[in-house]
Amino acid sequence: MIWNETMECMSREDMRKLQGIRLRNTVDRIYHNCEPYRKRMQEHGVAPDDIRSIDDIVKLPFTSKKDLRDYYPFGLLSSPLSEIVRVHASSGTTGKPIVAGYTRNDLGIWGEAGARCFTAFGLGKQDVVQVSYGYGLFTGGLGAHGAVENIGGTVIPMSSGNTEKQIMLMHDLGAVGLACTPSYALYLADALHDSHIPREEFQLKVGAFGAEPWTEAMRKELEAKLGIKAYDLYGLTEIIGPGVGHECQCQNGTHLCEDHFYPEIVHPETGQPVAPGETGELVFSTITKDGMPLLRFRTRDLTYLNYEKCACGRTSVRMGRILGRCDDMLIIRGVNVFPSQVEAVICEMPELEPHYFIVVDRVNNLDTFEVQVEVKEDFYSDEVSKLLDLRKRIVHRLQSVTGLSPDVKLVEPRSIERSQGKAKRVNDKRKFQ
Ligand code: DLL
């Protein structure tokens, strides 16, 4: 099923025309209503009249997370505060959070985008969906909640935590959909197993997972453990929240709602557009929002775009899995390593649980790279020689994928801390030295 066929299946030519018109209106709105943006554009030597089509977007200056911090909390609004009906915030690594303001119209756009996502996951009016993203300043809970209500489904507004109750209600209320982070889904999968309630008594069929990077291997793991189809749900507070993009039944790329959020890929260092299909930093311009429209917002997320029509019938551009954030990239002994590379290796080995933790440190001026990984119950009690052999194979695989030879520590099942929201899988001790 497709929620909005007109928009999701539009020809490329018509889409670009529409995006051009919407961008022009947005630039006009921002220029006349947001002082810091006007100044930035003037410094950059660009005026609203210079934007005639979507191709002109490259003339506009970038917006960064730093800008949102500098103008905290409301400096980048293009609507008066009296029009803002909701705020959300994302916690940054340091200091003040980033605050986003939404008008009623913006909430409508969010609801529309969310409805496209949950429809593409195969959910509808008849379905009960358990929303186990956190409710509150985080956009996950309320975002998924609005989306499910919009498609006429029945929401269980669980929020995260209280795992036993999660399982009880999932079972008793017949949840067909589960919306949470992939790491919390793993946690719930273990809890479901521990409950000793037979799987057949659950109705669960669909996972709407996002808010953190997850690999293809993790998808397989979650689908097998929970007996569901697991779909990617993408978004970020600054742009709207969950609903910026979603997978479809083909599970072959994340469709972006590009009639609302225009994507570009640029080189993370130079800011120059990369060649089509190449990986780089994802940049979004919101082209329909009123409250806090953003131009060329640097997400720090690394991915690529694919403009080919999808087998599902949608023509909307698809992005590849988020490889990680530029900020998450670890540079260990000069080599770039993403936690997602470690995850892919761990999930492919049947002896291991998909739980891992990376510790990076610097000892005597040399970087150390430790990977802790949980061994499955059946293997953990195995002979020492088998464990040593397993350890050797993991080191070997990680070496061929990352180019580095980590110190692998096999740990007991369930000893790595579980997450109920976004997982923390790295401790880079060098940052505090
Ligand atoms: O995480 C919004 C969201 C909630 C998306 C629920 C999906 C589901 P923030 O807290 O602002 O917003 O974090 C945004 O999380 O820039 C990515 O780095 C990461 N992220 C979000 N979705 C995905 C995904 C929400 N599907 C940041 N895959 C983004 C990989 C994701 N990373």
3-state DSSP of the chain:
CCCCHHHHCCCHHHHHHHHHHHHHHHHHHHHHHCHHHHHHHHHCCCCHHHCCCHHHHHHCCCECHHHHHHCCCCCCCCCCHHHEEEEEEECCCCCCCEEEEEEHHHHHHHHHHHHHHHHHCCCCCCCEEEECCCCCCCHHHHHHHHHHHHCCCEEECCCCCCHHHHHHHHHHCCCCEEEECHHHHHHHHHHHHHCCCCHHHCCCCEEEEECCCCCHHHHHHHHHHHCCEEEEEEEECCCCEEEEEECCCCCCCEEECCCCEEEEEECCCCCCECCCCCCEEEEEEECCCCCCCCCCEEEEEEECEECCCCCCCCCCCEECCCCEEHHHCEEECCEEECHHHHHHHHHHCCCEEEEEEEEEEEECCEEEEEEEEEECHHHHCCCHHHHHHHHHHHHHHHHHHHCCCCEEEEECCCCCCCCCCCCCCEEEHHHHC
pLDDT at 382 over 60: yes
Indicate if 316 and 404 belong to the same structural domain.
Answer: no
Indicate if 188 and 312 belong to the same structural domain.
Answer: yes
| Percent of the chain residues past pLDDT 90, beyond the cut | 93
**Predicted local distance difference test score (pLDDT) of residue 80:** 98
Indicate if 188 and 293 belong to the same structural domain.
Answer: yes
Closest CA to 341 of 259, 433, 406: 406
Domains held by the chain: number: 2
**Predicted local distance difference test score (pLDDT) of residue 108:** 98
Domain boundary among 305, 327, 349: 327
Q: Which residue's entry shows tokens 């640029």?
A: 266
Q: Omega before 73 cis (within 30°)?
A: yes
Residue 257 C-alpha to ligand 1 middle, in angstroms?
15
Which ligand 1 atom minimizes the distance to the CA of 213? 30
Q: Residue 364 sits in which domain range?
A: 330-432
**Predicted local distance difference test score (pLDDT) of residue 92:** 61
Span 180-218, pLDDT tens digits: 999 999 999 999 999 999 999 999 999 999 999 999 999
Indicate if 245 and 373 belong to the same structural domain.
Answer: no
Indicate if 322 and 390 belong to the same structural domain.
Answer: no
**Predicted local distance difference test score (pLDDT) of residue 432:** 63
**Predicted local distance difference test score (pLDDT) of residue 94:** 63
**Predicted local distance difference test score (pLDDT) of residue 433:** 60
* Identity of residue 360: V
Indicate if 192 and 74 belong to the same structural domain.
Answer: yes
Indicate if 286 and 425 belong to the same structural domain.
Answer: no
Residue 234 C-alpha to ligand 1 middle, in angstroms?
6
Span 147-173, pLDDT tens digits: 999 999 999 999 999 999 999 999 999
**Bridge partners, residue 302, by sequence:** 281, 324
* Identity of residue 356: Y
- Mean pLDDT within 395-414: 95
**Most ligand 1 atoms within 8 A of CB, residue of 301, 303, 321 to mutate:** 301
Indicate if 273 and 334 belong to the same structural domain.
Answer: no
**Predicted local distance difference test score (pLDDT) of residue 95:** 74
Domain boundary among 278, 307, 327: 327
Q: For residues 316 and 257, is the Cβ–Cβ distance under 8 A?
A: yes
Closest CA to 100 of 243, 241, 263, 249: 241
**Predicted local distance difference test score (pLDDT) of residue 74:** 97
**Most ligand 1 atoms within 8 A of CB, residue of 91, 322, 325, 343 to mutate:** 322
The pTM (predicted TM-score) of the whole model is 0.95
- Mean pLDDT within 323-336: 90
Mean pLDDT of the chain: 96
Indicate if 296 and 369 belong to the same structural domain.
Answer: no
**CATH at 147:** 3.40.50.12780
Q: Distance between CA 115 and CA 149 in Å, rounded? A: 8
**Predicted local distance difference test score (pLDDT) of residue 431:** 76
**Predicted local distance difference test score (pLDDT) of residue 317:** 98
Q: How far is CA 361 from CA 32, 38, 331, in A?
A: 49, 44, 11
Indicate if 43 and 7 belong to the same structural domain.
Answer: yes
**CATH at 395:** 3.30.300.30
Residue 95 C-alpha to ligand 1 middle, in angstroms?
20
